């Protein structure tokens, strides 16, 4: 049997002779169409017009040429001639040539509009051009069974398999590899065979990975002419429903260009994507002045994402009808309660509902094994002695928990094999940091660390029951701890170097003498069954227990009390009275004065102490509290917190008596008449049920009955307006600086400099992530990043482009740690690959993996100068502005204005009519923000207290010209209440301009005395009288 991996173009026949490839390419050609020569080009028309003037009439020729010049201002020929100062002869020549060339352009636009020329064979019809649209990076593997030897000869030299395969559409070089499996010859791998796919003429269409709704992109179709002669080419950009371009309402837009022999030429097009999702961009081209039939078409998909920043809002409710309900029934109404003033108008909104039985391990296991939630950072253990243990801990504790609670079916039995493989990898890698004294160090040849050695012993002792672990390694670590105790008057002195201080929790905090002794004692206790033959082990354990018993009453740190209590509980010496002196008032957790992670770890030690004491009733509220603290990715904020919480909860469920579990959950989703009915019973208590609906801030009604507990989680996704909130940066300080760089070509380059530090006073941040969004059309400089990520003094360990964590694609940089004492800096260049107008901002965020509270900042090239780059012209811009509010500047009839004020349709209703003055304008990150004072309420909508107040109006940046609002001027504004977003908590109102909003200039009292404005002023007075006296008359 052969396994063949390949990818190619056109069509080919593949012959396999044992382990060799023989390839025959079949050229698929269409019949050639002979065409007549094309019509006169625009260049020939220009030459003809200029040559109407003699060589001696130099001024007239220059004025004629000037009249045919294209300028980026929509002035008529007559208006342009008003600027001429060179006399009437120049004006005459200018107007003649200008008007003639305008007629020629109009004629050609008409030809484009009607698509076809009068003679069918005059050019290669666009719809006959084959369009290439499939561009896979690789092909799937194919299984081929070779036929046996012919006749009676079992030892024939070769057999043949033939089959035709259609190739993908890429113009590239594919590599085919054959691997044979044989009972007699084993495995054989053939030499790779390269197949070059090319055409004498083809198009390469350059698109960015994604674009934001409303951005203006200059895309380029690169024409490649490998023919020996120069060619004239007609290029078509095809119309696409949700893309504004020069092809809008014309089916296609055509250009004609000349491409030299054996050269390429770029043909630019301006497009504006106007709908989220994937849109098709199609370009076709054909040679038009040759008897040779050369043509190509290409179709690529552009991913269009909404404006704003994708945000997630999570709300949790505990369902426990026996305890929280009335008569065994618990009724809950849950709402996402997101402030509508945060939303970007017109962007998608959706909400997911999850109901989970007893707390799960599935999300932690996914991180521990596949690392999906953070790229590939913890796909497998690695790094220094501490980092390797950090990453090994997750699969160890995940496997222990799932084994003890019998949950493998919920997450997939195959995951256990994967987890065990990662444990084996971590175990083997940690050997590099083992010293001859049995201890473990941060790096090879460093002194062994007391805490790290105890931690390795603890984790290896757990792993010993899961995979093969040499007991001598564990016991060697225990002997190191015993010797350390003997040499330090019974104390466990730390002589090793620590890099990740956050690993040790609050062991080094207040009462560290007891915490460190308890930590090392726990490692010895949990290894006792494996290392029972070690001399002095029981003596050292006894001495340590005696010391902790004596000092427990003097301890004041809840963490030290909790860890000491667990160590004593292992010897049946738990003092519950002292333990509960430091518990929270509801006795559900033990607060640490340092960090929340230390609170979690202390609570886990307290739970273990109670479980060992078989105090399951007191332990239950602790388990419930811990389950509510779980992060969305399954962890608990730090390595120590995660391992201790799951160890404690696993011990609880492995030892506590299982209560009866039969829970019914009924959910009513908005807009649905049918109830969602879920039942959780003894065999399915770990399952998760889910559903979703469109929208946010809608009531979801839940009824729970029966026995047992479940967690209801509501997760709402929405796009918020980009803004920097100082409250988001509680853990990190981050500054973003963008400076222009010199460039050798027309493309812009910038240097992006990020400076950041961790705000904690106690520790550095560890395993942190920089998520760097790139503006549309920009790419990072790989050379700059490689310099910072390679070599002994590298600033970070890894970077990658991620297309999963974010919808726009971003650069992910993995940081081993972030200092809390001095700022760290990363700086690299970004280069513009695609010109973009109305560019939306990009976000930069930094957060610890275990505690995802991102500090987020924004940047955008040109923002500092207030630049509003527009690439489109007339027709294309007009298409983009069709969904904009447009200020009424034409003459308006009074009855038309009044009818609009009273408009009611199936989809829209005018609710409010205001006389309002624009007070201020701010060019925000992604929208224009107008501060407007409501001078007079002519018709009242849902905003009943608007008169005399300031209100915020939001407009899109690409609609700025259409709105044409000027601060200090007054306008008539009419719109619908559905365009008003309310923050009920802060009583703030925000209005959105949409295509149905009526905006009309309201002249001042002085202007109303002028004849020009008099009709408008009278009409506005009539509107006010009509609405205030008679209101809207229902027909």
Residue with more model confidence, 893 or 506: 893
Query: Are 776 and 857 spatial neighbours (Cβ–Cβ below 8 Å)?
Result: no
Mean local confidence (pLDDT), 675-686:
81
Cα–Cα distance between 256 and 233 in angstroms, integer?
Answer: 6
Q: What is residue 372's predicted lDDT score, i.e. its pLDDT? A: 33
Stretch 802-819: mean pLDDT, rounded? 74
Of 631 and 675, the structure prediction assigns the larger pLDDT to 675
Looking at residue 567, its pLDDT comes to 93
How does pLDDT run across 162-198, given as a tens digit for each residue? 878 778 888 888 888 888 887 777 788 888 888 888 8
Side-by-side strand order, sheet with 950-956: 980-983, 988-992, 950-956, 927-939, 912-923, 970-975, 998-1001
Q: Are 162 and 23 in contact (CB under 8 A)?
A: no
Q: What is the pLDDT of residue 426?
A: 85
pLDDT of residue 1007: 92
Give the mean pLDDT of the chain: 81
In angstroms, rounded to a whole number, what is the distance separating the alpha carbons of residues 76 and 62?
A: 19
Burial (0-12, 13-18, 19+ Cβ within 10 Å), 561:
buried
Confidence of residue 605 (pLDDT cuts 50, 70, 90): very high
Task: Indicate the length of the chain as a whole number.
Answer: 1035
Residues 6+ apart with CB under 8 A from 591: 558, 584, 599, 602
Helix, strand, or coil here: 120?
A: helix
Higher-pLDDT residue of 758, 762: 758
Could you read off the pLDDT of 938-986 as tens digits, one per residue? 999 888 889 999 999 988 877 888 899 999 999 999 999 888 888 777 7
24 has pLDDT over 60: no
Radius of gyration in angstroms for the set of CA atoms belonging to the chain, rounded to a whole number: 37
Q: How confident is the model at residue 686 (pLDDT cuts 50, 70, 90)?
A: low
Q: Distances in Å between the alpha carbon of 728 and those of 677, 806, 849?
A: 38, 19, 16
User: What mean pLDDT comes out for the span 575-602?
Assistant: 88
pLDDT value of position 361: 43
Q: What percent of the chain has pLDDT over 90?
A: 28
pLDDT at 122 over 50: no
What does the DSSP assignment read for 961-1016? HHH---TT-EEEEEE-GGGEEEETTTTEEEEE--TT-EEEE---TTGGGSTTTHHH
**Contact assessment for residue 627 and residue 620, using Cβ atoms and an 8 Å cutoff:** no
pLDDT digits (tens, 9 = 90+) for 689-740: 889 999 999 999 999 999 888 888 899 999 988 887 777 788 899 999 999 8
Confidence of residue 13 (pLDDT cuts 50, 70, 90): very low
* Whole-angstrom distance, CA of residue 686 vs CA of residue 849: 26
pLDDT at 678: 92
Least confident of 137-141, 161-165, 199-203: 137-141
Q: Given a cut of 90, is residue 937 above it in pLDDT?
A: yes
| pLDDT at 360 (0 to 100) | 47
What integer is the mean pLDDT of 39-48? 79
Map tokens 């119309």 to a residue. 239
- Distance in angstroms (rounded) separating the CA atoms of residues 828 and 750: 8
In the chain, the percentage of residues whose pLDDT exceeds 70 is: 84
Q: Lowest-confidence range among 37-41, 302-306, 619-623, 785-789?
A: 37-41
**What is d(CA 708, CA 504) in angstroms, rounded to the nearest whole number?**
36
Quick check: 824 and 757 in contact, CB under 8 A? yes
How far, rounded to the nearest angstrom, does the alpha carbon of residue 225 sit from its chain's CA centroid? 38
- Tokens 């400089």: give the residue: 781
- Whether the pLDDT of residue 602 is over 80: the answer is yes
pLDDT score, position 1004: 93
Nearest Cα to Cα of residue 654 among 410, 402, 413, 417: 402
Q: What is the pLDDT of residue 144?
A: 82
pLDDT tens, position by position, 85-120? 888 899 999 999 999 988 888 777 666 554 434 333
Angle between the 471-487 and 537-551 helix axes, to the nearest 10 degrees?
50
| Residue 741 · residue 829 · CB < 8 Å | yes
- Per-residue pLDDT reduced to its tens digit, 57-91: 889 999 999 998 877 666 788 888 888 888 889 99
Lowest-confidence pick of 376-390, 892-906, 1019-1033? 376-390
**How far is it, in rounded angstroms, from Cα 768 to Cα 747?**
33
User: At residue 366, does pLDDT exceed 70?
Assistant: no
The predicted structure's pLDDT at residue 472:
92
Contacts for 423 with CB less than 8 Å, ≥ 6 apart: 392, 395, 396, 399, 463, 466, 467
The predicted model gives 640-644 an average pLDDT of 78
The CA distance from 832 to 746, in Å, is: 9
| pLDDT value of residue 696 | 92
Cα–Cα distance for residue pair 6/9, rounded to 1 Å: 11
Q: In this model, does residue 751 exceed pLDDT 90?
A: yes
Confidence of residue 496 (pLDDT cuts 50, 70, 90): low
| Distance, CA of 80 to CA of 863 (rounded, Å) | 33
Instruction: Specify whether the CB–CB gap between 705 and 664 falls below 8 A.
Output: yes
- Would you state the pLDDT for residue 869? 56
3-state SS assignment for residue 114 = helix
What's the confidence (pLDDT) of residue 865?
47
What mean pLDDT do residues 756-760 have?
90
Long-range pairs of 225-228 with CB within 8 A, sequence gap ≥ 24: 225/200, 225/201, 225/259, 225/260, 225/261, 225/262, 225/263, 225/264, 225/265, 226/198, 226/199, 226/200, 226/201, 226/262, 227/200, 227/201, 227/261, 227/262, 227/292, 227/294, 228/261, 228/262
Question: Does residue 868 carry a pLDDT above 90?
Answer: no
Please, which residues bridge with residue 12 across strands? 25, 165
The confidence band for 217, taking pLDDT boundaries of 50, 70 and 90, is confident
- Range of weakest confidence among 386-395, 422-431, 738-747: 386-395
Report the pLDDT averaged over residues 781-800.
Answer: 84
* Strand arrangement, sheet containing 350-356: 309-319, 710-720, 350-356, 688-694
Give which of 891, 893, 872 is closest to 881, Cα–Cα. 872
Range with the lowest mean pLDDT among 17-26, 168-177, 544-553, 740-749?
17-26
DSSP string, 833-855: SSEEESPPPEEEEEEETTEEEEE
Nearest C-alpha neighbor of 979 from the set 970, 988, 989:
989
Domains plus CATH for the chain? 2-33+131-194 (2.20.130), 42-116 (1.20.91.20), 199-305 (2.60.40.10), 309-358+661-719 (2.60.120.1540), 555-660 (1.50.10.20), 722-865 (2.60.40.690), 884-1030 (2.40.50.120)
Residue 242 has pLDDT above 50, yes or no: yes
* Across 25-34, 177-186, 300-309, 679-688, least confident range: 25-34
Top-ranked range on mean pLDDT: pick from 28-37, 145-154, 369-378:
145-154
């Amino acid at each position: 049997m052969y396994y063949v991996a390949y990818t190619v173009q056109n069509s080919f026949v593949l012959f396999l002779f044992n382990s060799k490839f023989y390839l025959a390419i079949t050229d698929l050609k269409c019949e050639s169409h002979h065409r007549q020569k094309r019509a006169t080009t625009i260049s020939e028309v220009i030459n003809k017009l200029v040559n109407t003037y003699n060589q001696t009439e130099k001024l007239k020729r220059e004025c004629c040429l000037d009249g045919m010049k294209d300028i980026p201002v929509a002035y008529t020929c007559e208006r342009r001639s008003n600027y001429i100062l060179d006399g009437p002869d120049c004006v005459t020549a200018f107007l003649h040539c200008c008007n003639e060339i305008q007629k020629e352009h109009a004629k050609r636009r008409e030809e484009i509009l009607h698509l076809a020329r009068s003679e069918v064979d005059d050019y290669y019809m666009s719809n006959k051009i084959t369009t290439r649209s499939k561009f896979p990076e690789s092909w799937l593997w194919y299984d081929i069974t070779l036929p046996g030897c012919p006749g009676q000869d079992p030892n024939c030299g070769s057999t043949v398999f033939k089959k035709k395969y259609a190739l993908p559409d890429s113009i590239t070089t594919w590599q085919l590899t054959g691997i044979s499996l044989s009972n007699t010859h084993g495995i054989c791998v053939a030499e790779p065979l390269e197949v070059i796919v090319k055409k004498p003429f083809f198009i390469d269409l350059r698109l960015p990975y994604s674009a934001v709704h409303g951005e203006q992109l200059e895309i380029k179709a690169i024409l490649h002419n490998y023919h020996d002669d120069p060619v004239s080419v007609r290029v078509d950009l095809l119309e696409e429903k949700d893309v504004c371009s020069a092809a809008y309402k014309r089916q296609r837009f055509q250009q004609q260009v000349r491409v030299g022999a054996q050269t390429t030429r770029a043909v630019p097009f301006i497009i504006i994507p106007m709908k989220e999702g994937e849109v098709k961009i199609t370009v076709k081209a054909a040679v038009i002045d040759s008897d040779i039939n050369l043509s190509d078409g290409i179709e690529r998909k552009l991913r269009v994402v909404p404006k704003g920043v994708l945000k997630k809002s999570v709300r949790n409710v505990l369902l426990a009808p026996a305890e929280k309900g009335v008569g065994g029934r618990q009724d809950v109404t849950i709402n996402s309660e997101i402030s509508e003033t945060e939303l970007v108008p017109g962007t998608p909104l959706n909400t997911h509902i999850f109901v989970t039985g007893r707390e799960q391990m599935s999300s932690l296991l996914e991180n521990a094994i596949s690392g999906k939630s953070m790229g590939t950072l913890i796909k497998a253990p690695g790094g220094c002695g501490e980092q390797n243990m950090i990453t090994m801990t997750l699969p160890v504790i995940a496997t222990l928990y799932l084994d003890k609670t019998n949950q493998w079916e919920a997450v997939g039995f195959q995951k256990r094999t994967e987890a065990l493989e990662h444990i084996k990898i971590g175990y083997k890698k940690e050997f590099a940091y083992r010293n001859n004294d049995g201890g473990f160090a941060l790096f090879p040849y460093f002194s062994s660390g007391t805490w790290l050695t105890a931690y390795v012993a603890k984790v290896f002792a757990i792993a010993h029951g899961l995979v093969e672990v040499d007991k001598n390694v564990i016991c060697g670590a225990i002997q190191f701890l015993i010797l350390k105790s003997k040499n330090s008057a019974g104390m466990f002195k730390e002589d090793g170097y620590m890099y990740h201080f956050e690993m040790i929790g609050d062991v080094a905090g207040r009462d560290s003498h007891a915490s460190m002794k308890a930590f090392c004692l726990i490692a010895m206790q949990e290894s006792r069954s494996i290392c029972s033959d070690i001399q002095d082990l029981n003596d050292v354990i006894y001495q340590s227990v005696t010391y902790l018993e004596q000092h427990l009453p003097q301890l004041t740190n809840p963490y030290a009390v909790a860890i000491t209590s667990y160590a004593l509980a292992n010897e049946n010496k738990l003092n519950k009275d002292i333990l509960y002196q430091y518990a929270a008032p509801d006795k559900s957790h033990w607060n640490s004065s340092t960090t929340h992670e230390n609170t979690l770890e202390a609570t886990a030690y307290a739970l273990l102490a109670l479980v060992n004491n078989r105090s399951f009733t007191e332990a239950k509220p602790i388990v419930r509290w811990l389950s509510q603290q779980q992060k969305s990715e399954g962890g608990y904020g730090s390595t120590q917190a995660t391992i201790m919480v799951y160890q404690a909860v696993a011990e609880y469920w492995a030892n506590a008596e299982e209560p009866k579990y039969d829970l019914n959950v009924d959910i009513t989703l908005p807009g649905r008449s049918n109830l969602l009915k879920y039942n959780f019973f003894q065999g399915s208590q770990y399952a998760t049920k889910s559903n979703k609906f469109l929208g946010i801030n809608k009531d979801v009604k839940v009824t729970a009955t029966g026995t047992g507990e479940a967690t209801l989680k509501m997760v709402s996704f929405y796009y918020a307006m980009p803004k920097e909130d100082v409250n988001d940066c509680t853990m990190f300080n981050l500054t973003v600086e963008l400076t222009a760089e010199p460039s050798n070509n027309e493309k812009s380059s910038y240097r992006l400099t990020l400076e950041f530090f961790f705000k904690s006073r106690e520790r550095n941040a560890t395993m942190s992530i920089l998520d760097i969004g790139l503006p549309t059309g920009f790419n990072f400089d790989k050379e700059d990043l490689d310099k910072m990520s390679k070599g002994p003094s590298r600033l970070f360990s890894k970077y990658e482009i991620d297309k999963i964590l974010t919808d726009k694609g971003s650069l992910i940089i993995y940081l081993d740690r972030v200092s809390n004492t001095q700022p760290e800096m990363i700086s690299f260049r970004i280069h513009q690959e695609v010109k973009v107008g109305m560019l939306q901002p990009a976000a930069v965020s930094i957060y610890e993996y275990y505690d995802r509270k991102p500090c987020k900042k924004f940047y955008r090239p040109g923002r500092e100068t207030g630049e509003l780059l527009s690439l489109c012209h007339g027709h294309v811009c007009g298409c983009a502005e069709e969904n904009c509010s447009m200020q009424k500047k034409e003459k308006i009839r009074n009855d038309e204005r009044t009818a609009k004020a009273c408009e009611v349709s199936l989809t829209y209703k005018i609710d409010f009519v205001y006389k309002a003055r624009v007070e201020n304008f701010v060019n925000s990150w992604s929208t224009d923000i107008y501060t407007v004072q409501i001078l007079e309420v002519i018709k009242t909508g849902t905003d009943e207290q608007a008169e005399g107040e300031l209100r915020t109006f939001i407009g899109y940046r690409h609609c700025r010209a259409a709105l044409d609002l000027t601060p200090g001027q007054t306008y008539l504004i009419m719109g619908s209440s559905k365009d008003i977003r309310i923050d009920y908590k802060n009583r703030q109102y925000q209005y959105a301009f949409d295509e149905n909003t009526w905006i009309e200039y309201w002249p001042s009292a002085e202007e109303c005395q002028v004849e020009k404005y008099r009709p408008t002023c009278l009409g506005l007075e009539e509107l006010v009288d009509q609405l205030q006296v008679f209101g809207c008359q229902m027909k």
